[in-house]
Amino acid sequence: MLANFIAPDSKDSRLGIKARYRMLVDGKSVDAASGRTIDRVSPGHTGVVVGTWPDASADDVRLAIDAARRAFDTGPWPRMSGAERSRLMFKVAELILANQEDLAVAESLEVGKPIAQARGEIGFCADLWSYAAGQCRGLEGQTHNNIGDDRLGLVLREPVGVVGIITPWNFPFIIASERVPWAIGAGCTVVLKPSEFTSGTSIRMAELAREAGIPDGVFNVVTGYGDPAGQILAEDDRVDMVAFTGSVRVGTKLGEIAARSVKRVGLELGGKGPQIVFADADLDAAADGIAYGVYHNAGQCCISGSRLLVQEGIRDALMQRVLEISSKVTFGDPLNEKTRIGAMISEAHTAKVHSYVEAGVAAGARLLLGGARAGQEHGLYYAPTVFEGVTPDMTIAKEEIFGPVLSTMTFRTADEAVALANSSEFGLSASVWSTNLENALQSIRRIRAGRCWINSVIDGTPELPIGGYKKSGLGRELGRYGFDEYSQFKGIHVTLGTPGRWFN
């Protein structure tokens, strides 16, 4: 067993939690009509069931769509003032904070992420709700007073309608909180379909919204598998928009289905984030950020900094620091406060990550550290893994591994670094490490990615938009731009006085 592996404590009382969840439809807690359920075994604790939720059919989801459609077409929510919606959304944020520890434990057990990380994420989600609550009362259209003495132009902002939101398993509470508050803040109603792996905390979010006073039918949650529970959200004509976060393969399929009814689509898909380190960078800070960027959430992160692009001349010095951190960082038991890297989501995904590692070795990349599973008798864990000598044509340089695997390449000039960064079909995130701010800014401006950092990584704030270039997706969430994603804009020409006659 590796010295930095923390074995799970089988006597931890929190492992006795086996939550039984029900979907939330039209303000009511309901089971699937079939009675079928899904058991979630914690990936960090072999054989321990930590949650059970309904396995919804397409008909179950249609009932949720009915509720959302009715709440939008005839309910009070879209007709409330921004101030009224804001007050209720602030209450949701307060309730999230009041239940922070319980939510964090559930998130840790379902996803396998470290409890300290989960706790911080829940707190961040309360901030997301608070920001959206504050902004939704300030949403505005435009007036045009200079289009003629006898004409006035109005641009009205209106909610897009019923929104289907499909979220992945890696950050269920965060990704829902990056979308639901903006959608309902704009006046929309929502049907949320979380991953079948990690549905519990999404249901709890909707229950807290109900407790806060959000009207029935505004925020519905259905649980089950992508086909049929998620797919029906793209197929049903009563859904005006579908927002999906997940793989390129599934996102492309949903986009094709939605196009049949000319449904608006928001997509946040894969990533292969570069971390560019210039020779003038603070190497200690960069090494720490690189490790965090690739190992955060066991690398199961679409904005993971999984491609390290390091300038020649500092490669050895930087790699020494990265390897030292990688060999000492604690991983294992998600419920241990000292753990920094938790479990993988499933057996199939763990095997997939290992197959990428094997492909890297076969292609000639040098495996400097890791490359193997750990603590298999306890759960689904993979050791921090570092490759050097990677070339742009290798699979581990091109495809999203979604595990704690770092692929290292070198460059000579800033032009070469930018070209390497842009050589990916993805464009979700990028980092630049440099103490020369002009060099850092000029480089980041040339990188085709929607979420970028200078001298940090995987940082976030509700004020800044997120989203992808290229195959990483369509649309933007968060900030003021996030409300535009869930809004329609209506242009109105007002004629004043007596208009000129077309006939006679």
Active-site residue list:
268, 302
Query: Cα separations (Å) of 71 from 219, 277, 491?
Result: 9, 51, 25
- What strands, in cross-sheet order, belong to the sheet with 151-159? 142-144, 151-159, 487-495
Angle at 362 between CA 361 and CA 365, to 5 degrees: 40
Distance of CA 2 to the CA centre of its chain: 31
Query: Which residue type, as a one-letter code, is found at position 4?
Result: N
Read off the tokens for 493: 């020409």
What is the rounded CA–CA span in Å between residue 286 and residue 418? 18
Write the CB contacts of 302 (distance below 8 Å, at least 6 apart in sequence): 170, 245, 268, 269, 270, 271, 400, 428, 429, 472
Which residues are paired to 309 by β-bridges? Answer: 276, 409
Sorted by sequence, the CB contacts under 8 Å of residue 451 that are 6+ apart come out as 303, 428, 429, 430, 466, 467, 468
d(CA 328, CA 310): 22
The 8 Å CB, 24+ separation contacts for 33-41 are 33/57, 33/59, 33/60, 38/196, 38/199, 38/223, 38/224, 40/110, 40/197, 40/198, 40/199, 40/200
